[in-house]
Amino acid sequence: MSRRDRRGRRVEGTGFTGLVISYWRRLPQHFRWNLEDTFQPAQLEERLLPNEEPQLEIRLAWYRDIIGGLIFDHFNIILGITFLLVVGLLIYVVATAAFAWYFAFTPFLLLLVLAGYAIMERIEYNQWRLLKTNARLIISIPQPGSLFLVDNIELKGLPQVVDTNWSKNPVWRVFQFVTGARDLYLSLAAYRFVEGTARVGDALIIPDVMPDQVFALKRLIFTVPGGGPQKVMFAGPQEVVFPSPQKVIPVPEEPAEEE
């Protein structure tokens, strides 16, 4: 499984991870694709349509994979720190007999728990993806009610409504406040909102999307007729001038002429 950077770009692994990926790609193609499509979004670079070109890939914000990033990207450092903690606790037990010796291996147990959680977090993080090409829109989300399975949706058209809202989870809402990320609402039906709110109804929700990726998606969707994506540049503060109210001057009616 290849990892991705904070912007969602694919980065091939090195060392042990790179070795595993190289052996994985040697498996029969159809067998490998079947397994990959079951748990992860399809690797589009291996099966593009004729004349199809990727335009935009959107992933979850980096903090949705924060534990996975620490464990997988800095595993050697964390393993070394854990080993030093175990050795220090063993020395302390021998010197003081304060507790049983097997409690000294608690850091290793904690590392195993974090590694298990990191694997689950990384799998779910990779399952959320929006990919826009010049031919289709591909949305990948975790399969509802199924652990580790992924569901892929391919659309010919583009969403009519793009909306951003705060997360319902108070923990992620804190990260959204700091980073500017928001939950992305996409709907194919325009002008359908939840009563009493500005939230789009019947929308597909992609959680925790960074603002620069939301803006890039808007540039692809909201285009100028007969032209490319809108590009707006402001050199400096813009002065907005509102027209003055029109003054209505009453005109006296002329008396009707007598016949």
Model pLDDT for residues 132-156, shown as the tens digit of each residue: 988 889 999 998 888 788 888 888 8
204 found inside a domain: yes
210 found inside a domain: yes
From residue 71, alpha-carbon distances to 21, 169, 200, 236 in Å are 18, 24, 37, 45
pLDDT: is 42 or 150 the higher one?
150
214 found inside a domain: yes
174 found inside a domain: yes
161 vs 190: CA distance, rounded Å: 6
Residue 65 contacts residue 121 (beta carbons within 8 Å):
yes
Nearest Cα neighbor of 56 from 225, 179, 206, 227 is: 206
Of 20-24, 116-120, 185-189, 248-252, the one with minimum mean pLDDT is 248-252
| Percent of the residues in the chain that have a pLDDT greater than 70, as a whole number | 75
208 found inside a domain: yes
Nearest-10 Cα torsion for 163, 166, 172, 174: 130
The number of distinct structural domains making up the chain is 1
Mean pLDDT of the 177-201 span: 74
pTM exceeding the 0.75 threshold for the entire prediction: no
DSSP for 65-127? GHHHHHHHHSHHHHHHHHHHHHHHHHHHHHHH--S-GGGGGHHHHHHHHHHHHHHHHHHHHHH
Phi first, then psi: what are they for 223, rounded to 5°? -110, 160
32 found inside a domain: no
pLDDT: is 138 or 225 the higher one?
138
What is residue 257's predicted lDDT score, i.e. its pLDDT? 57
pLDDT: is 44 or 192 the higher one?
44
25 found inside a domain: no
What is residue 175's predicted lDDT score, i.e. its pLDDT? 95
193 found inside a domain: yes
Mean pLDDT of the 80-87 span: 92
Q: Which domain holds residue 215?
A: 158-223
Residue 71 contacts residue 79 (beta carbons within 8 Å):
no
Mean pLDDT of the 203-217 span: 92
What is residue 9's predicted lDDT score, i.e. its pLDDT? 45
